[in-house]
Amino acid sequence: MIKRGKKNIYISCFIVLMAMSWFLFCGWFGNRLKVIESTEFLMNTNVTAKIFVKDRAKGEELFRRAFAEAKRIERIMQPIEGDGELQRINKSPTGTRFELSPELKTVIDRSFYFYGKSGGAFDPTIASVKWLWEFDQAGRLPSDNELREALGTVGLSGISLNGNNLELGNSGNKLDLGGIAKGYIVDRIIDLLRDNGVQSGLINAGGDIYTFGKKPNGADWIIGLRHPRMNKTIVLDHIPLPAVATSGDYERYFMLEGVRYHHILDPATGFPARGCVSVTVWATSAMDADVLATSIFVLGPERGIALAESMDNVEALVFFEDDGRLEYAASSGIRDIIKL
């Protein structure tokens, strides 16, 4: 009996140890958050998603759903290629009326808002001018006649938007939502991830970035900015706004006779805006950060910072050149933490 008792004790101890091992390794460690990451080419740039999840398989399925949703919206917003909604609008005769999808209605509504807010510095009807420059290829300098004719189609005020109905004006307006659609798609990816229980992550769509939650160790997300003229990264303290977007004259450009021609065009002239070198904007949504980075770049440092100051939950950092020197201006909420 004594021997059987010892044996029973050994068996009991073994069972307890196995249970503790399962608890520690399958329970506690098994429930630790895992980082997973995925990258796909969308909207002419690499889009990287990084999230922290307990279930890797569920996280990977969410990535598939998120990128499928992004591709669906990208098709809607394509201005020239494919057979999406915006492409069909741009191919239609003037005076045609369209009932907009909820996605396109949201983006065009916000475009009208920022068209007014920026005094026309953001104008998606610059499409005909933008396409002349062929920045998606090697780039070209349009002729004065080409620009003059294309500028006649620019002006969002020429388009009528009543409820869900959009009507093209009689000046040959075309729409290109490249300055706002990417941010909207980032916001939609974030919504899908959050709605499915993801509590921490980051989306980077070629410089349009959205972070949410904290890292598993409790640390904040810190975003590094590309220096506009040097091969280095600018690291700032944590700024408590989730979305950040940067527009710079180094992103898409070509050089001709020593002059840099970049893709951020001034709707008033049809030429690249010359007031800024780069603009970074922090906001509560990636869509707003995206469109404001473009708007402020066109407005220039002084008027651009004034626009940022006029809005709640918006901060901006502008680099510009003065007599060959690189200078910067910042909105009041981040001015004290900028040390360059």
- The per-residue pLDDT for range 178-213, each reduced to its tens digit, is 999 999 999 999 999 999 999 999 999 998 999 999
Are 143 and 242 contained in the same domain?
A: no
Are 226 and 113 contained in the same domain?
A: no
Helix (H) or strand (E) holding 165: strand 165-167
Is 104 contained in some domain? yes
Domain span including residue 308:
222-340
- Distance between CA 57 and CA 122 in Å, rounded? 42
pLDDT of residue 222: 85
Is 46 contained in some domain? no
Are 340 and 272 contained in the same domain?
A: yes
Task: Choose one of 149, 167, 185: the last residue of a domain.
Answer: 167
- The per-residue pLDDT for range 36-87, each reduced to its tens digit, is 999 999 988 999 999 999 999 999 999 999 999 999 999 999 999 889 999 9
Is 100 contained in some domain? yes
pLDDT of residue 33: 84
Are 146 and 236 contained in the same domain?
A: no
CATH number at residue 287: 3.10.520.10
pLDDT of residue 95: 82
Is 305 contained in some domain? yes
CATH number at residue 150: 1.10.3980.10
pLDDT of residue 320: 96
Helix (H) or strand (E) holding 4: helix 2-21
pLDDT of residue 172: 87
Are 123 and 236 contained in the same domain?
A: no
- Reported pTM: 0.88
Total structural domains in the chain? 2
pLDDT of residue 254: 95
pLDDT of residue 31: 58
